[in-house]
Amino acid sequence: AQSVAQPEDQVNVAEGNPLTVKCTYSVSGNPYLFWYVQYPNRGLQFLLKYITGDNLVKGSYGFEAEFNKSQTSFHLKKPSALVSDSALYFCAVRDKEGSYIPTFGRGTSLIVHP
Amino acid sequence: DTEVTQTPKHLVMGMTNKKSLKCEQHMGHRAMYWYKQKAKKPPELMFVYSYEKLSINESVPSRFSPECPNSSLLNLHLHALQPEDSALYLCASSQNTGQGALNTEAFFGQGTRLTVV
């Protein structure tokens, strides 16, 4: 079985400060991990993914995520937040031993204050 | 072209109406999905089509009827909906399904905001 947890409903950060949105996962085999962003009244947009290889993955809009196998985490990060980064962020996981249908976390609302 | 296009963007319908949501992609993807999303919640899978055949129905009520006329188009026919069906309906596509799909991301349309009155 595959599952993913986003422990924070909301993250608040000041513009220009670094941001982190947390995600932990549980899978039977090797995980395939994804981050998506959703702006108000829009669909989900793919940001980045971890499949294999380098634990630090770089994605769109300056975002990156670090895969940590021992902590089963895949936290989303950005060195300097922008007000325009304010949105809903979803972590998703697939498991080679499980379903090809991704399991989404509950979502984290990121609010960047000017 | 990396877009999934959904029409209409907004739809208001009565509980006795029949309407359809449409989705189109020209990326050559062979897997297409319908999701339902309530405010500030993750998307909930409804249906999956793989190579134009329905492969997953997540126990969705029969008042929702999907159709995949060809590899680029996906429809969702709506009939006798309830107010609790009001939500954002998202279409998505990916290269394929099964083990070959594990490392591929899904592309989402911007959704249809459905209100049932």
User: Between B6, B40, B105, which is nearest A107 by CB?
Assistant: B40
Per-residue confidence (pLDDT) for residue A29, from 0 to 100: 85
**Tens-place pLDDT, residues B30-83:** 999 999 999 999 999 999 999 999 999 999 999 999 999 999 999 999 999 999
The percentage of residues in chain A with a pLDDT greater than 90, rounded to a whole number, is 82
Cβ distance of A42 and B92 shorter than 8 Å: no
Cβ distance of B88 and A41 shorter than 8 Å: yes
Q: Which of B15-24, B43-52, B99-108 has the lowest mean pLDDT?
A: B99-108
Per-residue confidence (pLDDT) for residue A41, from 0 to 100: 83
A97: pLDDT strictly greater than 70: no
A98: pLDDT strictly greater than 70: no
- Output B62 or A101, whichever has higher pLDDT: B62
**Tens-place pLDDT, residues A1-51:** 789 999 999 999 999 999 999 999 998 888 999 999 999 888 999 999 999
The token pair at A87 is: 């949105």
Residue of B nearest to A6 (CA): B42
φ/ψ of B7, rounded to 5, equals -135, 150
Closest CA to A67 of A81, A85, A52: A52
Which chain A residues are within 8 Å of B97, Cβ to Cβ?
100
The mean pLDDT value for A77-82 works out to 98
Cβ distance of A100 and B106 shorter than 8 Å: no
Per-residue confidence (pLDDT) for residue B99, from 0 to 100: 72
CA distance B23 to B68: 10
- Output B96 or B3, whichever has higher pLDDT: B3
Binning pLDDT at 50, 70 and 90, where does residue A67 land? very high
How many alpha carbons lie under 13 Å from residue B4 in its C-beta half-sphere?
32
A109: pLDDT strictly greater than 80: yes
Q: Decide if A51 touches B, using CB distance below 8 A.
A: yes
Cβ distance of B90 and A44 shorter than 8 Å: yes
Written as one string, the DSSP assignment of B89-106 is EEEEEES--GGGGTT---
B6: pLDDT strictly greater than 80: yes
A100: pLDDT strictly greater than 90: no
How does the average pLDDT of chain B come out, rounded?
Answer: 93
The percentage of residues in chain A with a pLDDT greater than 70, rounded to a whole number, is 96
CB atoms within 10 A of CB A12: 12
User: Between B92, B102, B111, which is nearest A100 by CB?
Assistant: B102
Q: Of all helices (H) and strands (E), which one includes residue B97?
A: none
Per-residue confidence (pLDDT) for residue A56, from 0 to 100: 96
